[in-house]
């Protein structure tokens, strides 16, 4: 038994707060160029930045709304995620509570009503059947009322508990510093504007040690390295994928992979592929013929890990590298 998972990074399809910054066609075609890839997987995952909410007041104090980064997409935009093939979204990030906990709860209700699973609120995990396997997605973040990433031991206990009951355990995290200059992994605790953002390598490896089968990172708004650890795949940041407004897509910030991973029934990494996409506003993500995301991820993986345990083929295909004695 095998399972095929497609994963992308940050998504925010448009906001109507404090002014209308929504796509001209109301987002109908925003994901059209990438839908065939997304819809072809057994499970399709992404990180939802902001809320799906009609009206409501910001949950953050902001003297000038035009200078704040608060994202509110109309609840009807959930249909764009459905039509693109998304099965589960993370609500564990610093924008999930832009309109208070009420906003995140509204997003959860909207997603659930549309048949999309979610994880992010403390104690909220997504469990479902896919390809005859019991799957659970556990989304962690460094932000209030989320499944807390910074308590590594507690997070590992959560993962270990679910690993006893599910065939496949997928862990998502929102962590690490932000910006075009943080593509390299520091192998240390990170901060952003004095906010602790975790040691993403320590966290990811601890979660695999506890029983996780796939780690999907986001938060830095740029891509980072991937590695194979104990025959499990870790993607340290999937970057920006579909962000219509308010999140910079200049230069490397506009590069976002669709990472497609095949696992066997025990969670081992079998094969994968990086489909490089690029955002050129006002359009949504499209396939990048220059393979910017692939080339950057490959370079970062080799520089950060020397032997990341993965073979990168020119067409974006990924396969396990032959094991080197002494490495996990």
Contacts of 181 (CB under 8 A, 6+ apart): none
Q: How far is the first Cα of the chain from the last one, in angstroms, to the nearest whole number?
A: 24
Q: Is residue 44 part of a domain?
A: yes
- Residue 47, Cβ density class (10 Å: 0-12 exposed, 13-18 middle, ≥19 buried): buried
Q: Is residue 255 part of a domain?
A: yes
Q: In the predicted model, is pLDDT for residue 323 greater than 70?
A: no
- Percent of the chain clearing pLDDT 70 (strictly above): 97
Q: Is residue 326 part of a domain?
A: no
Q: The CATH number of the domain where 297 resides is what?
A: 3.60.21.10
pLDDT in tens, 48-67: 999 999 999 898 777 666 55
- Percent of the chain clearing pLDDT 90 (strictly above): 93
* Helices 200-210/152-163 angle, 10° precision: 30
pLDDT, the chain, mean: 96
CA angle 266, 174, 69 (to 5 degrees): 150
Q: Is residue 325 part of a domain?
A: no
Q: Token pair for residue 80?
A: 């764009």
Q: Is residue 185 part of a domain?
A: yes
- Rounded Cα–Cα distance for residues 247 and 117 (Å): 25
Provide the pLDDT confidence category of residue 124 given band limits of 50, 70 and 90: very high
Q: Is residue 181 part of a domain?
A: yes
Contact (CB, 8 A) for 141 and 184: no
Structural domain range at position 95: 2-320
The reported pLDDT for the residue numbered 64 is 65
Contact (CB, 8 A) for 275 and 257: yes
Q: Is residue 223 part of a domain?
A: yes
Q: In the predicted model, is pLDDT for residue 118 greater than 90?
A: yes
pLDDT in tens, 71-114: 999 999 999 999 999 999 999 999 999 999 999 999 999 999 99
The reported pLDDT for the residue numbered 322 is 85
The reported pLDDT for the residue numbered 63 is 63
Q: Is residue 328 part of a domain?
A: no
Specify the number of domains making up the chain.
Answer: 1
């Amino acid at each position: 038994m095998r399972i095929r998972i497609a994963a992308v990074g940050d998504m925010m399809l448009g906001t109507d707060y404090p002014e209308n910054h929504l796509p001209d066609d109301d987002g109908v075609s925003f994901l059209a160029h990438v839908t065939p890839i997304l819809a072809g997987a057994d499970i399709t995952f992404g990180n939802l930045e902001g809320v799906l909410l009609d009206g409501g007041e910001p949950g953050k104090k902001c003297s000038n709304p035009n200078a704040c980064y608060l994202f509110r997409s109309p609840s009807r935009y959930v249909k764009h995620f459905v039509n693109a093939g998304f099965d589960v979204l993370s609500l564990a990030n610093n924008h999930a509570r832009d309109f208070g906990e009420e906003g995140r709860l509204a997003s959860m209700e909207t997603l659930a009503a549309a048949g999309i699973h979610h994880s992010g609120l403390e104690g909220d995990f997504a469990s479902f059947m896919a390809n005859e396997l019991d799957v659970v997605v556990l989304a962690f973040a460094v932000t209030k009322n989320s499944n807390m990433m910074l308590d590594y031991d507690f997070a590992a206990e959560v993962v270990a508990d679910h690993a006893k009951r599910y065939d496949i355990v997928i862990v998502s995290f929102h962590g690490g510093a932000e910006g075009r200059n943080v593509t390299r992994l520091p192998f240390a605790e990170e901060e952003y504007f004095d906010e602790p953002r975790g040691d993403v390598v320590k966290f990811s490896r601890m979660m695999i040690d506890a029983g996780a089968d796939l780690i999907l990172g986001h938060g830095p708004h740029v891509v980072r390295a991937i590695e194979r650890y104990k025959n499990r795949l870790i993607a340290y940041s999937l970057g920006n994928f579909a962000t219509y407004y308010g999140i910079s897509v200049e230069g490397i910030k506009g590069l976002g992979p669709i990472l497609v991973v095949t696992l066997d029934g025990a969670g081992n990494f079998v094969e994968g592929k990086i489909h490089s996409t690029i955002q050129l506003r006002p359009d949504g993500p499209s396939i990048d013929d220059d393979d910017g995301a692939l080339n950057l991820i490959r370079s970062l993986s080799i520089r950060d890990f020397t032997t990341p345990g993965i073979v990168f083929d020119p067409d974006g295909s990924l396969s396990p590298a032959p094991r080197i004695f002494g490495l996990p």
